[in-house]
Amino acid sequence: MSQNGSMKKIGLLLASSLCLTAQTPVVLGTAGNFAVLAFSTITNTGNSVVDGNIGLSPGTQVIGFGPGIVVNGVIHAGDAVAGTAQNDLTAAYNDAAARPCIGPVLPGDLGNMTLLPGVYCNSSEENITGTVTLNGNGDPNAIFIFKIGSTLKTAVNNSNVNLIGGAKASNVFWQVGSSATLNAGTAFNGTIMANIAVTVNTGAVLNGRALARNGAVTLQGNMITNPSPSGGAGSLSLTCAANFGPVGQPYASALVAANGTPPLNYSIIGGSLPTGLALNASTGAITGTPAAAGTFSYLARVTDSGESLASSNCGLLVGTNVPPPSVPAPPTLILVIAGLALTTVYLKREQLLAQFRRV
């Protein structure tokens, strides 16, 4: 029997044994609110797009945003929110590490295997060359937990964690005793909880979370999406990038897809972006410096690995530093003292005058 055939047989044996014991999800706590969470530093090069929060504690250095872009989230660098998330990550890591291993030990490479829900263990390093398929077997609550003693590494331009049968990225957990490396071209699903560091190399796509307990997270032109607990049920959709940018100043935004199966491919199929801006086909990032003022319309499209597609008619107004009329100006901050309790309020001029006339 070929090596691939043997590995598949082991996978089926493991699946038949492990799926008999239903698992509960690893409780991430507030760490689940982060797409990227690190201990020492977070460093990005290239047009990475992180869909979700970024957190760092106790370190404070988040480097490379921009050119990296954060959508649907904020950066917490060395604050209490990130500190609490790190504590919750430790609890989640220990939860996964304590799950009992049932059945044969995983081989050193998961490529070409199909696995059913369960707890899978390897006390040494784990590689993924080719495709490993996680089959939820029709259960929307199917849990997959991988306990890896040392390193996790994917093959360059030949690695894919594929979900079928209702399996969800939010229910896949990778507990890594050392560091995890997703190499170029990888399409990966699930939450990585590395004891040390996580490195996501050029063009790799992570539908999940990159969480590092005691080291750094390093990104290189990636798309990272914090997975929805619903598993992204529904048809593929596409949200436009920001619709305003000052002329002659750097612009950084992104097209954002929902419900797609990575890897995704973004394109402009009608109209055009302003001169000076460019689209990253892998991440959806639109960056550059618009050279001239004007109103620009374009038709954006995204396709996923399942050959689904979605399109959106988008627009971009390039003008002065003043936001477009559709964007309300921020309210004026006024400190009111005379005759009133000391407070900070937002008031229109007429409201303020009326207050003083009553004093």
- Mean pLDDT calculated for residue range 274-286: 90
- pLDDT band at residue 311 using 50, 70 and 90 as cut-offs: confident
- pTM equals 0.75
Rounded Cα distance, 200 and 301, in Å: 25
Is a pLDDT exceeding 70 seen at residue 10? no
With residue 220 as reference, give the H or E element that holds it.
strand 217-220
Query: Percentage of the chain with pLDDT > 70?
Result: 81
Concatenated DSSP letters of 2-60: -HHHHHHHHHHHHHHHHTTS--PPP--GGGGGEEEEESSEEEEESS-EEESEEEESS--
Lowest mean pLDDT among 92-106, 128-142, 243-257, 309-323: 309-323
> Of 52-56, 323-327, 328-332, which has the strongest mean pLDDT?
52-56
Query: Percentage of the chain with pLDDT > 90?
Result: 46
pLDDT at position 12? 43
Is a pLDDT exceeding 50 seen at residue 330? no
Cα dihedral value 75, 177, 23, 26, nearest 10:
-20
Is a pLDDT exceeding 60 seen at residue 349? no
What integer best gives the mean pLDDT of the chain? 82
Rounded Cα distance, 338 and 317, in Å: 43
Is a pLDDT exceeding 90 seen at residue 5? no
Rounded Cα distance, 125 and 106, in Å: 10
| 243 DSSP assignment | S
- Give the Cβ contact number of residue 158 at 10 Å: 15
- pLDDT band at residue 1 using 50, 70 and 90 as cut-offs: very low
What 3-state DSSP class applies to 256?
strand
- pLDDT band at residue 47 using 50, 70 and 90 as cut-offs: confident
With residue 260 as reference, give the H or E element that holds it.
none
Is a pLDDT exceeding 50 seen at residue 340? no
pLDDT at position 34? 95
Is a pLDDT exceeding 70 seen at residue 121? yes
pLDDT at position 234? 60
With residue 183 as reference, give the H or E element that holds it.
none
Is a pLDDT exceeding 80 seen at residue 49? yes
Is a pLDDT exceeding 50 seen at residue 329? no
What 3-state DSSP class applies to 357?
helix
Domains annotated on the chain, with CATH: 3-225 (no CATH), 237-319 (2.60.40.10), 330-359 (no CATH)
pLDDT at position 337? 26
Buried b / exposed e along 319-358 (16+ C-beta atoms within 10 A): eeeeeeeeeeeeeeeeebeeeeeeeeeeeeeeeeeebeee
- Mean pLDDT calculated for residue range 215-220: 95
- Are 220 and 96 within 8 A, CB to CB? no
User: What single letter denotes the amino acid at residue 336?
Assistant: V
Q: Which two tokens stand for residue 146?
A: 């991988």
Beta bridge partners of 315: 297
Helix extents (H) in the chain = 3-18, 80-98, 349-358
pLDDT at position 67? 84
Cα dihedral value 303, 309, 312, 316, nearest 10:
10
- Mean pLDDT calculated for residue range 122-142: 91
